[in-house]
Amino acid sequence: MINTIKDIAEENPASEDIVIHVDDLKEAENFVRHLRDLGVVATVHSFEEGKAIIRRVHQSTTDRVSNFLRGGLY
């Protein structure tokens, strides 16, 4: 959590990386599209040798911590 707060203080969103094994980039993009259909904010961060790194962004956490860092009581 400390690292997340430091990242948000440096204007980066709260996020986590997930590794999935797929045959090609299109399959990884289809998975991200499925996540978006479920309401998850995610992107394909990188793809190499059948491994795709999916970055999931936690917007609510980013907003809440940003508000705390600005002195809010949210």
Domain covering 2-69: architecture:
2-Layer Sandwich (3.30)
Task: Tell me the domain boundaries of the chain.
Answer: 2-69
Q: How many CB atoms lie within 10 A of CB 50?
A: 12
CA distance 70 to 38: 31
Q: Pick the closest to residue 39 from 27, 25, 56, 22 (CA basis).
A: 56
pTM, entire model = 0.79
pLDDT tens figures, 15-57: 999 999 999 999 999 999 999 999 999 999 999 999 999 999 9
